[in-house]
Amino acid sequence: MSQPGMPRMTRRSLLCGAAAAAAPAGELVRLPRRIRLGLLGLDGHYGEILDPLKHLPDVELVAVSDADAGKAKRVIDGAGVPSARPYADYREMLDREQFDVIAVCNNNGERAQAILACAARKLHVIAEKPLAIHRRDLDRVRRAVEHSGIKLSMLLPMRFSSPYLAMKKVVERGEIGEVAQIAAQKSYKAGERPEWMKRRSTFGGAIPWIGIHMVDLMRWSSGLEFTEVASFQTRIGDFPGIGEMENVTGSLFRLDNGGVALLRMDYLRPETAPSHGDDRLRLAGTRGIVEYQEATGVTLLPAHGKPAVLRDLPAEQSVFVDFLESVYAGKPAALPLTDIYRVSDIVLRAREAAERNRMLRI
């Protein structure tokens, strides 16, 4: 705990201003040379890779792999890159083509092995999250990245989204004082999930899959670190479309300043709801509260003054553009590798806490 009259050194104070912002989404981004891109797998949010390509004239999509080669061909056609080649086996693609960067978007259970294959070929990687669903595989990825010297990033696009960029700025300016409590929510429609998500061996659990977004946002926006976790996870009700997936989870974290963070997630959002998901983030500090939900926007409740909905939000940015500019244009990454490894550790530990039914140190 900080002493009276002394400023408290936090992750926020260390990171504030350390990384230049990525170019706003939609702006033309030039790189020093031509970059040959491969898309490995179509199970993740590969739109985070394909959508910015129209603003990246120096990036060429060379090939796409998926077990369903027909799907790979359809994605190539939809991306408007007829010269790109489809593959059913990513290993064949890696062996036959020349790449600079690989976007790894295969299923969770096979992702670590694909990253290792790219590292062995010294190809830079931006991967879907989580990097691995087992701690031993995460350690293997870490060692391979260090040994090969490649650059690695992960698809955590929410920290590049306008509302959360605005919330971080509110905290950095000291408008809500020291953050003492954080609450986050993810609520989704269950629907019919793809087969890989229905099996634990290829999915790995809801906490690593969607919880990683909110764990990243809570740490990044508050500047605080997580030190302990207790979790619960279960599957309740008749939802044949989700297989072995949990549809309810809750995690409680202790913060390094003694505060508390709570994360609740579910796949119980009714099909009649106006949107697929309902993401929320709330940071309560010693001098006010800032919170976001889609229905109300970013709201600031200061200790002194009137509540206000923030209208002038920072420009939307791109996690893929941030990665490319950090690798090829010398810009500091807004999503550094230390954060990627740390948040990966935390969600695996949080899932373990649920499995072991006990509080664990992180």
- What is the predicted pLDDT for the residue at 7? 32
pLDDT at 208 over 50: yes
pLDDT at 24 over 80: no
Nearest to 249 by CA among 270, 228, 265: 265
Average pLDDT, the chain: 93
- Which position has the higher pLDDT, 142 or 20? 142
- What is the predicted pLDDT for the residue at 12? 39
- What is the predicted pLDDT for the residue at 27? 79
pLDDT, tens only, 235-247 = 999 999 999 999 9
Distance CA 102, CA 117 (A): 11
- What is the predicted pLDDT for the residue at 355? 97
pTM (2 decimals)?
0.91
- What is the predicted pLDDT for the residue at 16? 40
pLDDT at 1 over 80: no
The confidence band for 23, taking pLDDT boundaries of 50, 70 and 90, is low
The pairing of strands 277-285 and 288-293 is antiparallel
pLDDT at 22 over 80: no
pLDDT, tens only, 257-292 = 999 999 999 999 999 999 999 999 999 999 999 999
pLDDT, tens only, 136-165 = 999 999 999 999 999 999 999 999 999 999
pLDDT, tens only, 214-223 = 999 999 999 9
Q: Do 205 and 233 contact (CB within 8 A), yes or no?
A: yes
pLDDT at 20 over 60: no
pLDDT, tens only, 193-205 = 999 999 999 999 9
The confidence band for 18, taking pLDDT boundaries of 50, 70 and 90, is very low
Q: Sign of torsion, CA 62 194 162 168?
A: negative
pLDDT at 4 over 80: no
- Which position has the higher pLDDT, 22 or 91? 91
Distance CA 128, CA 126 (A): 7
Q: For 57-92, give the DSSP string.
A: TTEEEEEEE-SSHHHHHHHHHHHT-TTSEEES-HHH
- What is the predicted pLDDT for the residue at 25? 60
The confidence band for 332, taking pLDDT boundaries of 50, 70 and 90, is very high
Distance CA 247, CA 188 (A): 9
- What is the predicted pLDDT for the residue at 8? 38
Ranking 7-11, 136-140, 313-317 by mean pLDDT, the lowest is 7-11
